[in-house]
Structure 1
Amino acid sequence: MSNVTAAMPRRMMADFQPAVYQGVMSAIVRVLAADSTSNATRQSWQKLIDSGPATGGFRALLSARDQFDYDCILHALLHRELSAAQWDVLVGKFSTHKANRVGAIARSIPRIVSPAPALFIYKATTVWFIPKMKGKQGKRSTDVAVLPDEFYDMNTWDVDARPDSTRTRWRRGIHKCLEELEEGAVIHVTEILEREQLIDCSA
């Protein structure tokens, strides 16, 4: 084999675009799921990877372990480059690690600027992160953050029983603040994925 022939695979790999993730939201979910994957559960996590759709691109060439390592590396990169508020809003919204999610929500509450009283801000913020789930609570996993049904009753958010119009305006403002923060975080993640050439732009 000539030196030119031997160098061809290396040159081809250098020209290859490593589109590891098929979309921004799937990347965010995978990265935050990796944060909750322990050695004891890694085997089941790898089965989820292996059972996924067989797609082309760089990820199809990776072993389950390599895919998991990519998720962990991106987790560290996002944690470093996102602001604390952006990181917490993503963890609070999308993480499957209950303790991490609860901690992120708790850190997000003091960042909310609203004329509403503290109890209202606390409950309105929490239900945005943990929307009401369908089904009976007894059938839900204990690993999922769940709020009691009465937590979603806005009448319990304000002990002074202000008019519905006032409480609705407060809730809308708080949720808009969180939605804008989430949008900014997703945009920032998109920029990082594109910069690192980890996103499949054709998807």
Structure 2
Amino acid sequence: MTKTNSNLVWHEASVSKQERHARHNHKGCVLWFTGLSGSGKSTLANALDRSLFDAGLSTYVLDGDNIRHGLNKDLGFSDRDRQENIRRIGEVAKLFVDAGTIVSTAFISPFQSDRDQARALLADGEFVEVYVKCPLEECERRDVKGLYKKARNGEIPQFTGISSPYEEPETPEITVDTSVQTVEESVEQIIGWLEKHHILTR
């Protein structure tokens, strides 16, 4: 890991995070969607984003596949690269929170230690882990991208859930089970949690 240059000095912003929150009339936070491929992370993150945006909130979605087309296109899928992928996303998500935005991140993020590292970047209450729970069998049945079939055929090495482990969240703030809940039910559950914890107000 590259060390910080000793000649660099942190420059304090002229506009505070609290001022940005006040202007948006809501707090910024990271909704960290984690789960197996095919569990519905991106679908749910975007449905929630649409609902919040339509309500006039400042929002954005960071999607795993999209990020690998740009910012993280130099990374593969080894454990080390997966860790760096999540580290970068954690740093980017922190910037969105500083800007007073509710940012949803849709990444498999299979390792608990990496998710904990992302959480540690943010203040208490700003990191909301959303476990998109779905049995492997159901994710394979959906196989919306055809990835499980390729992984089973040995065409994709180190595929999470097949040849690489997925560590379920130990104590997520929110758990939605997309094998039994509709997208609308899951979105309403998340919004309810955000309201209960005073990130949003009706």
After TM superposition, the score normalised by the length of structure 1 is 0.31
Decide which structure has greater strand share.
2
Q: Which has the larger radius of gyration?
A: 1
